[in-house]
A = this chain, B = another copy of it.
């Protein structure tokens, strides 16, 4: 039977329920949205016992279809105060699906500050007191758990930032190397897990049966087609070769890669962090590319070695190179890699953290380009240094602390590394996504400087993103002709579940997911009036194309009509 496991941290009880039939074709983000909208009041405090954290694999995770292993975390967000889903790669989704678990729902919270580990295997779930794990950094924590519970476990964990209930805190997921390098990073979901007193969730799928696939022929054929699409795609070829930093040559010229806290303009020596530069340096140090999920056909993760040829961080992504790099006037690759590692250790979102630090630079308290100071802030975080603790609450909080009014956030969440003035469909996504500024909610660079037609492009790609986040597909493996994936998803779901879904049915899964999210947000007091970017996006011209965000607001306002 497919199960929902409910963990109530108020009385430390575990309840295994049969997953209702209505959840049959829901997974990941769609399932999370449906559970939250049905069970959590919009007006609760995100850190209160009334919030719930949903952990859900996609619909195909256990089949090992390539790039279908994303795992979704969802809750009311302490950062945005909206519904939130944030997903990651790694090895956990497969294991949950192999155990026939549709979702973990973590509810309630302990009366006192206590620390627990949740252990899940084929016999059920146990809540284990783990005071010794309190305060540990992610890498040390996970290494210890793997030593104790075996190397084939998967681990979901929070660092000190999540324990301290910070709005920029992440939930880490172990990758194929057993490192806590994949993060459900956005929206401060680590704080929700932290508020429930859970430091880590261990999943052991040893001895589980393979998942049942009803039409194996169709499954194999579709997987073959998908791999062929991926292999033939020029964009994905670049991603495979250089990882997400492959785009820096393009976005830094376009202006969409943020620099100097969104004032824009070239950062000298930007070539230091071009994809091919990183690849060359990393190869010479014995670093590698890998797939964070089993069976991935793209393998875009940069497993980065430091100058001592030892592992420094996984994975070094475009967003981090921008938000802890160019947007702070920093292009020193090793410094950024070190910051990335520190953020992964602490369980901090590199986007939100970088954007918050940029506010300190805007205020003149830290110099642009001062990489030593940024590293020191992250190093001092664990000792309770207040700058780290302010930054750990995110960009809007930091701007508030500093009394600044030029705040690159939407619904309280920092813009990712795509300046809306230079990629306007993404600006529409930032404005209107139920989750605030989130490139993973719908990114599109087509004809990106023009405001024409961008609302519809954003809606299309938001719908597609909601669909793939529900089925569990990785956006980094999306082909250039993204809608091709609708057909692939329909066929794979039909193969596994014996259904007869069409492409349109999958598109409707995306639509329904967004509807659930909007409904939750409505009950939390969010209206269309919040669907707008901060004013400076419409008034300050961005070099080199001297563009502002000029998609008509009334067109944006009608996006979900």
Contacts and interface: CB of A to CB of B under 8 A. Distances in A.
Interface of A: 42-48, 50, 164-167, 191, 194-195, 386, 389-390, 393, 397, 400-401, 403-405, 407, 523-527, 529-530, 532, 534-535
Contacts of A43: 529, 532, 535
A407 B47 CA distance: 11
Given A43-B529, A44-B535, A386-B386, A400 B403 contact: no
Given A165-B403, A403-B165, A524 B529 contact: yes
A42 B529 contact: yes
20 contacts: A42-B529, A43-B532, A43-B535, A45-B405, A46-B405, A47-B405, A48-B405, A48-B535, A50-B535, A166-B403, A167-B400, A191-B403, A386-B386, A389-B401, A523-B529, A524-B529, A525-B526, A525-B529, A525-B530, A527-B527
B165 A535 contact: no
A326 to B, nearest CB: 25
Contacts of A403: 47, 164-166, 191, 194-195
Nearest to A529: B525
Nearest to A191: B403
A234 B390 CA distance: 50
Q: How many copies does the complex hold?
A: 2
Contact of A47 (B195, B389, B404): B404
Contacts of A401: 389-390, 393, 397
Given A43-B529, A393-B401, 4 more contacts: A47-B405, A389-B401, A397-B397, A525-B527
Contacts of A397: 397, 400-401
Give 10 nearest A-B pairs by CB, closest first: A165-B403, A525-B529, A47-B405, A45-B405, A386-B386, A48-B405, A525-B530, A525-B527, A164-B403, A527-B527
Contacts of A194: 403
Contacts of A47: 403-405
A474 to B, nearest CB: 32
B405 A400 contact: no
A42 B386 CA distance: 33
Contact of A393 (B191, B400, B405, B529): B400
Given A50-B535, A525-B530, A195 B165 contact: no
Contacts of A535: 43-45, 48, 50
Contacts of A164: 403
A110 B45 CA distance: 38
A166 B535 CA distance: 21
A377 B194 CA distance: 29
A347 B149 CA distance: 57
A527 B42 CA distance: 13
A405 B400 CA distance: 19
Contacts of A525: 526-527, 529-530
Nearest to A47: B405
A393 to B, nearest CB: 6
A523 B527 CA distance: 10
